[in-house]
Amino acid sequence: MPIRTITVPVKDLDAAKALYAELLATPPYVDQPYYVGFRPQGGPELGLDPHGDVAAGPVVYWHVEDIAAALATLVAAGATEERAVHDVGGGALTATVRDADGNLLGLFQSAP
């Protein structure tokens, strides 16, 4: 499972968008009120989430072929489901779990 997306929760989407565009030296490829996404050269996607939990910090998303199976495997291995599988737009699915130490981990399945 490769890490392909890191989502950063933000309070001020416009300010964060300006800062990350400079930091990553690239404009966003997605610029919506609910998500701003950057694809920097040679790195994973970086997304800004104005609805995320700022206190929890960034969430690393592993891209998987079958999100339900991956979620079940992680829960069986001791993870606690934080947010069930849900559609984030266009058929793309995400879910989050917490490991035994409380770290938040994300799963992402591309739209069919």
* 37 and 70 both lie in a single domain: no
pLDDT tops 90 at residue 56: no
Predicted confidence band of residue 101 (pLDDT cuts 50, 70, 90): confident
Q: Is residue 85 part of a domain?
A: yes
* 41 and 3 both lie in a single domain: yes
* 41 and 9 both lie in a single domain: yes
Q: With pLDDT > 70 as the criterion, what percentage of the chain qualifies? A: 99
Question: Half-sphere exposure (CA, 13 Å, Cβ side) for 49?
Answer: 19
Q: Is residue 56 part of a domain?
A: no
* 1 and 45 both lie in a single domain: yes
Q: Where are the beta strands (DSSP E) in 1-112?
A: 3-9, 30-32, 35-38, 45-49, 59-63, 80-89, 92-98, 104-109
**Amino acid type, 86:** H
Least confident of 19-23, 51-55, 67-71: 51-55
* 69 and 112 both lie in a single domain: yes
Residue 41 belongs to domain spanning: 1-50
Q: What is the CATH number of the domain that holds 45?
A: 3.30.720.120
What's the pTM? Answer: 0.80
Q: Cβ atoms within 10 A of the Cβ of 53, count?
A: 12
Q: Cβ atoms within 10 A of the Cβ of 43, count?
A: 11
